[in-house]
Structures are given as structure tokens and as C-alpha cells.
Structure 1
């Protein structure tokens, strides 16, 4: 059974038929006004496009009375008439035309935003915001993405490569879904799972006094100058902790942001460094196994506690957790 919208006569704050005394002043804008107006904007735009309430109601699939009341309330809240009534048809006032331009732009923005979030959550082609450390960018992360995309070729990634503290800040802010980091964080509000361990090596120039050795105790480098990552990097914290366990505080000659830059500076003779294995052998340096204390860093995946996973995020999280003890080369 089809409900026929009823014809309804409108009265508005600006019409002569509604006046019983002096015309009321327009309602002042208040911060909550947008919240009040928002549900009625689509109805207003629909009536404006059709210039006919009955046809607009049929297009919207709602009773004409519902549409009429929504627009009357909108005009009352604004304190401005948006339509001139001409029998069964309506025409926008000058204020109505101006308001319609802004309303249509706002509705188009909402539509685009809705489509974007729906697309990002699509199980087959959605998006994952994934952060990782600089030291994992050359081999580890590309290898992970290549393996994951073999079964999920259309899933998209928003990648963020930065240092540990900055990455965790973006995770806490909700800008990232997942991050690959080291050390594995242990703090309220975050969930973290250990995935693998990576041995660190003492990197020395090829003409260094220790260069002919294969293994070394870290205490043997106590008098050396170190080139390290800047404070805030996870590897810097691990370096400081390992040196402290070896009984000394490293004398820092340079602080940088890239592990390979540090290797280059070691080769140039500026100092020694504790670094993970390189993707490719670097000339000019020798990499020594540290026997004491045990030099290694744990790598884990972290996410925000209580964070709702979209299907693509859930799929990538399962994949990462399935790579336990397979993340890095031996």
C-alpha cells in the first residue's frame, strides 16, 4: 500500500500569516546550533532541488508532513525564511539560495567521508595504517608486505616510518592501526606481542684494534667513542642499557637518525656502533658478535587497547602474529 503524502500549508517565522505581534529577532548562533540543524539539511536540499514539497517527499520516500515540518523547523531555528510559498510550489529566497550552496557542499563532504571510511574498511581493498622503525625499512617491512599482499593484493597501506617514541605517540592518537617496534612496549593503554629477536653487533672500522676478532665483550669498547641514534629511538635506549650492563656509559661522538648513516661514519673512523645486521655487507667496517652482555633487541607488534579492527587491519594483525620467530634473518 502506497501512502500518498498530504498537501500541507506552511507557515514560517517570516510569513505574514504567522505573525501575531512584532516580528521576532533571528535566533543568535550558538555552538550547538549545527547539531540541531544537521538532521534537517538533507530535507531542505531535497525540497530546494525539486521546488515542490510533494515531489520531494515522493523522492525521499517520506510523508510530505515529515518533510514540511523539517523545513519549517529549520527556518524557525535559523530565524530566516528560506522559501517563498507559491501554491503547491516553493522558490528559494535569497537567503535560501546562499544557504543551499553551503548545505550542498557540506552534504557532499559528508558523502565523500562516508564513502572513504567504508572503502577503508572493505575486507578486500581496505586500508591499514602501519608504522615501523627506520631500521626495519630496507628489508623486514618490504618482505612482510610482499608476503601479505600475495594473498591480499588489493589491501592498501598507509605507511609511517619513524622512531619509536614518535610512532607510539601516533599509535596512542589513533593515527596508526598497528606498529612494528623495538623494544616491545609495556605500558597502559597499549597491547603488544613479541614477534622475534634480532642480535646486535658491535660495528668497528676495518682498521680498528678489534677488527681481527670475531667476538668481543662489550666492556672492551668502554674507551671508544660511539656513534648512535638520537634519544627517543628504541635502539638508542637499548644501546645505553647494554653499555650500562657492561659497566660504562658510552661517550657519544655523533647522534643520527639512520642506521646506515652510522655505519658510514664508523667506516670513516668516527667511532663504533651497536647495530642490527645490515641488509647488505658494507665495505670499510667489521661486524663483531657481542658475547657479554647478550646483545639483542626484541621486536614486537603493538596496537591501541580497545581499538576496533576493520577487516583489513584484523587480517594484517593475524598475519604478523603468524610470523613469530620468522620476522628477521638469523
Structure 2
């Protein structure tokens, strides 16, 4: 059978004991704990009753700690520290208001969106350490559900009872061509005119790959994909090097502006991506995620 602790012995009273032992004065202990002097005196007396031994001896109006009080104070220090560590570990295991947050992001959002968000969250919660995890939409959604990341800046996923998503901004898909390509001088691109052209694209799982496939489904032909890559910056390098054409979101327009031109697609092919912040619904009241959501809304007033 477990040892039962007298109900008069509580963590709060142990905190009062430690405050008194540190200050040696009822009034100072009360000030440190933001309670009345009477409350401190009652707590110490109640501890003595719970311990069933004297913790203090009276000398005039002063309470002098006995050896027993020093022993209990040493134990109380360990107990309170262990409890504080346990509370912190429990909350971290639940992903709730930890001092470290992993934010997932699409590669394309690291150009402007992510820096704005990271700076904003640092200003709002200076004690919070943010870690960035990059990946495709599919990767980020999987990691989010597994608890490997706390939130993700990505294209809005399909409705899911586990996921809460906040739409931030919309972005259009463009035809990407080398700056010196004849296509770069056109007002818009009809994909059917590009039937014989080589294309490069992101790997499956990226939302831009899905947009790529949707556009060519509308054009009613299968594009000649000569290479797939795992990040959007490598993809733009391939376009600028003349390896193939691509379909890219407008948010990357300024990355290789002197080498790659983004041309609007003809109206029948125009597609838009909705970028948002997603996190697990069961954590919607987490103060860190509430702060992150507020920062994202503020940063996204002007689409990145």
C-alpha cells in the first residue's frame, strides 16, 4: 500500500516554507508570495500539524527554524523542482506551450513569408525557440499528424477532422521560362502550344506538382517531363539553365527575376493555391499556436 501523505501537507505550503526559509521573515515571505502575513503564518502552522512535529521555535515574535524544518526544506526543494519539471515535460509531451516550436514550411515560403513569421513570433514571444522544418505539402501534413512538427505553413489541406487550418493568402500559378525565351515575351501562355516542349517539375507530394498536373489535365495532354526535383529553387535553376519549362507560383517571382520570367497562363488553365497555417485541432488553445496564428495573420496582410 502506498504511503499516504497528510492532507495538510501541500505543494503550496511547501512553497511558503521555502519562501520563509529564504527570507527569514513573515512579512518578506508574504511579499514574495503576494499573500498576507497571516496566510504565511497559518501555512507554516498547518505544515507543523501535518508533519506532527515542531518545525519552528518561538523567540519573542520570531520563528526560528529547527533542524526538522531544514530537512523538510531540502526535501521540498527537490519535490517542487521535480513537480515543475514533470509539469513541463507533460505539457511538452502534449505539445502545449513548450519553449520550443517546430514550424513546417514549403520551400517557396522561405523567401519572404517565413522570415516575417519568425521575426514576428520572436517579438511576440522572445522566450520561444523556433525551428524550421522544410518539406512538401504531403511531408508536412504527415509530420503534423505524427506530432513531429507543431504547425505548418503550406497549401490548405483537404478537410480533415484532426486538422485546423487558417487561410492566409492565395497565389496564382504561372508558366516559367528562361528570360531570353520567346515565351517570356508573350502576354499569356496556351499550354497546348507547348505540347512538344520539355518540362521540369517538383516531385509528387508538392502542391505545385499537383497544380502542374491539373493544368495539363485541362490542356488534355501529358507533358514531356525530363526531370523532377525535391525543392523549388533547384527547379528554377533548371528553368534558367534551359533544361525545361515549369509551372511555378507567383511568390517565387523575385528569386531569379533576371533569369526566369513568369508568364500568366491562358484563362482556361489558371489555377490558384491557397496558403495557410495548419495545426492539430486538439491544440487550438495552445498559447504558442495562438501567438503564431496572430503573427501569420499580421504578416500576410500583404501576400508574400
Question: What is aligned with 2:254?
Answer: 279
Q: Which runs of 4+ in 1 moved over 4 A?
A: 4-7, 53-61, 107-122, 322-325
Matched, 1:242 2:215: yes
Task: Quote the RMSD (CA, aligned, Å).
Answer: 3.4
The partner residue of 1:3 within 49, 62, 75 is 49
Matched, 1:219 2:192: yes
Answer yes or no: is the 8 Å Cα contact 1:184–1:299 preserved in 2.
no
Answer yes or no: is the 8 Å Cα contact 1:200–1:289 preserved in 2.
yes
TM-score w.r.t. structure 2 length? 0.66
Residue aligned with 1:199, SS: strand
Question: What is aligned with 1:258?
Answer: 231
The partner residue of 2:119 within 146, 156, 160 is 146
Q: For residues 113 and 250 of structure 1, do their structure 2 counterparts lie closer, same or farther at Cα, with a shift above 3 Å needed?
A: farther
Residues 128-149 of structure 1: per-residue CA shift (max 9 Å, x gap): 3211101111222112222443
Which residues in structure 2 correspond to 1:282-293 (within 5 Å)? 282-292=257-267, 293=269
Question: What is aligned with 1:95?
Answer: none
Moved more, 265-274 or 313-322: 313-322
Q: For residues 109 and 129 of structure 1, do their structure 2 counterparts lie closer, same or farther at Cα, with a shift above 3 Å needed?
A: farther
1: distance between equivalents of 2:116 and 2:51?
61
Residue aligned with 1:216, SS: coil
The partner residue of 2:205 within 226, 232, 241 is 232
Question: What is aligned with 1:319?
Answer: 295
Question: What is aligned with 1:192?
Answer: 165
Answer yes or no: is the 8 Å Cα contact 1:139–1:279 preserved in 2.
no
2: distance between equivalents of 1:295 and 1:324?
20
Where do 5+ consecutive residues of structure 2 fail to align?
Answer: 1-44, 54-67
Count of residues in correspondence between the two structures: 238
Question: In the TM superposition, what is the alpha-carbon distance from 1:5 to its structure 2 partner?
Answer: 4.9
Where do 5+ consecutive residues of structure 1 fail to align?
Answer: 8-52, 62-103
2: distance between equivalents of 1:296 and 1:224?
23
Question: What is aligned with 2:101?
Answer: 128
Answer yes or no: is the 8 Å Cα contact 1:226–1:252 preserved in 2.
yes
Residue aligned with 1:211, SS: helix
Residue aligned with 1:236, SS: helix
Question: In the TM superposition, what is the alpha-carbon distance from 1:243 to its structure 2 partner?
Answer: 1.4
Answer yes or no: is the 8 Å Cα contact 2:236–2:260 preserved in 1.
yes
Residues 125-180 of structure 1: per-residue CA shift (max 9 Å, x gap): 93332111011112221122224434444432122111111111111112222211
Matched, 1:181 2:145: no
Residue aligned with 2:265, SS: strand
Question: In the TM superposition, what is the alpha-carbon distance from 1:323 to its structure 2 partner?
Answer: 4.8
TM-score w.r.t. structure 1 length? 0.61
Question: In the TM superposition, what is the alpha-carbon distance from 1:187 to its structure 2 partner?
Answer: 2.5
1: distance between equivalents of 2:181 and 2:50?
92
Answer yes or no: is the 8 Å Cα contact 2:198–2:243 preserved in 1.
yes
Matched, 1:300 2:292: no
Q: For residues 6 and 257 of structure 1, do their structure 2 counterparts lie closer, same or farther at Cα, with a shift above 3 Å needed?
A: same
Question: In the TM superposition, what is the alpha-carbon distance from 1:254 to its structure 2 partner?
Answer: 0.5
1: distance between equivalents of 2:50 and 2:206?
68
Residues 36-71 of structure 1: per-residue CA shift (max 9 Å, x gap): xxxxxxxxxxxxxxxxx998668557xxxxxxxxxx
